[in-house]
Each structure stands twice: as structure tokens, then as C-alpha cells.
Amino acid sequence: MKKKIKWIIPAIAIVILMSVGVFVFFQKKEEKVYTDPRDIPIIQNNPVYHDEDDTDGDGLLNKEEKELGTNILLVDTDEDNIDDFSEVYGSKTDPLNSDTDKDGLKDGIELFMELNPLEKKTDGKTLIKKELLQKNTQKRSVL
Ligand SMILES: [Ca+2]
Ligand SMILES: [Ca+2]
Ligand SMILES: [Ca+2]
Ligand SMILES: [Ca+2]
């Protein structure tokens, strides 16, 4: 009986050490996620960022960004080259979707090309990606 107990103690110790090791490993992994400003839910709820502040300086208060679901640390949450404020109050595009009308062209590109980022096709002005590629290929073959 005593012999058995002698074996059980180190066995338990090893199991505990292993689980601590796994825990530390995953904690480290999570820390990596923390360093990414795009990790919205964790950083967004950090009390360091006050509701009445505009931490990223995009014109939207942290409070507003929390309501919208945009990132309080990124000026352009969906990376379509239109800042969060302009998407909400200017172009009326979705600040969380880089391609609001889902035609394959990012909102920023559409605005730059004077297309409508809210409609796939508007009075023949808005091209879908396929047509645009064809047009560009034609241009290139002419050149
Ligand atoms: Ca902001
Ligand atoms: Ca923002
Ligand atoms: Ca944007
Ligand atoms: Ca689009």
C-alpha cells in the first residue's frame, strides 16, 4: 500500500506540471491575440478606453464605435480605404464590410472610381468586377 502511494504522488505532480505547462502555453498564445488591435471584443471592453474618447481619432467616439461594432483602435476597421466616420456619415457604406454591395469591388475603390458602392449596378455606371477586368484587358491589348 505504501509503495503505491509513493508512486501516486510523483504521478500527480507530473500531471499538475503538464497542465500548468499547457495553461501557460495557451496563455502565451492569447497574449499574442491581445497585441493585435483588431481583436475587438477584448480590447474594446478595456476600461482604459473611455466611452467619451475618440481613441483612434477617426471622428467617432468610442461609445459610438462600440454601438456600431467598429474597432476603437482602427481608423478604417474593414480596410477598404474609407475611414469609419466617412462610411457612417458620408458614403453610408457598411463600416464592417469592405464590399458593401458585394460586387467584388471594395467600397474605397468604388468611390475612387466614382462608382456606387451601395448598388451592384446603377444606371449602367457601376461595373461588376468581371466587366471591369474585361475592360482593363481590352485597354491593355489596345496599348
Ligand atoms: Ca474613434
Ligand atoms: Ca474606428
Ligand atoms: Ca472602412
Ligand atoms: Ca462593392
Domain residue limits at 15? 2-35
Taking the model in full, what pTM does it have? 0.57
Rg, Å, the chain Cα set: 26
Q: Identify residues whose C-beta is under 5 A from ligand 2, the ion.
A: 56, 58, 70, 84
Same domain, 73 and 105: yes
Do 105 and 133 touch, CB atoms closer than 8 A?
no
**Other residues' Cβ atoms within 10 Å of the Cβ of residue 23:** 10
**pLDDT higher than 80, residue 132:** no
pLDDT tens, residue by residue, 43-87:
556 667 889 999 999 999 999 999 999 999 999 999 999 999 999
127 alpha carbon – ligand 3 mean position (Å)? 21
Same domain, 98 and 117: yes
**pLDDT higher than 60, residue 134:** yes
Same domain, 70 and 133: yes
pLDDT value at residue 6: 81
Instruction: Among the bound ligands, name the one nearest to the CA of residue 107.
Output: 4
Same domain, 129 and 95: yes
